[in-house]
């Protein structure tokens, strides 16, 4: 199938090749093909979600980053919270022991 293309020279940056219906364009310098806006200029452009290696890489990186962040929510912080008061957990016992000792007062005799 014959596909007509339009070539537009862009000074200093190679040239841009538009596809027949201008739905995509390819920059000769970067080799990057991007989607262009179609139809009239009314409304917002409706570009499809770009796909390709770079987006996969960022997606993988993002997922790994989120995963790693959640994994780094170490359980140790929970342990620190739950045993923080264990050292002084015998305070009531200490008070009771003191009261019992105070029961023995030489001045009572």
From the list 30, 46, 49, the residue with the least C-alpha distance to 38 is: 46
Q: Which is nearer to another protein, 10 or 91 (CB)?
A: 91
Q: Which is nearer to another protein, 46 or 85 (CB)?
A: 85
Minimum CB distance to another protein, residue 31 (Å): 18
Residues at the interface with another protein (CB under 8 A): 53, 56-57, 59-64, 66-68, 70-71, 73-76, 78-83, 85-90, 92-101, 103-109
For 21, 26, 32, 49, 58, the CA distances from 52, given in Å and listed in that order, are: 22, 15, 11, 10, 10
From the list 53, 4, 8, 3, the residue with the least C-alpha distance to 32 is: 53
For 34, 44, 45, 65, 74, the CA distances from 40, given in Å and listed in that order, are: 18, 10, 9, 40, 54
Q: Which is nearer to another protein, 10 or 97 (CB)?
A: 97
Q: Which is nearer to another protein, 41 or 74 (CB)?
A: 74
């Amino acid at each position: 199938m014959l596909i007509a293309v339009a070539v537009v020279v862009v000074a200093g940056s190679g040239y841009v090749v538009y596809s027949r219906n201008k739905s995509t364009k390819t920059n000769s310098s970067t080799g990057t093909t991007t989607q262009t806006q179609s139809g009239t200029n009314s409304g917002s452009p409706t570009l499809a979600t770009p796909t390709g290696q770079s987006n996969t890489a960022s997606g993988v990186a993002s997922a790994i980053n989120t995963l790693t962040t959640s994994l780094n929510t170490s359980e140790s912080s929970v342990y620190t919270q739950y045993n923080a008061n264990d050292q002084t957990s015998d305070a009531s016992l200490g008070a009771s022991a003191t009261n019992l000792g105070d029961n023995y007062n030489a001045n009572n005799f």
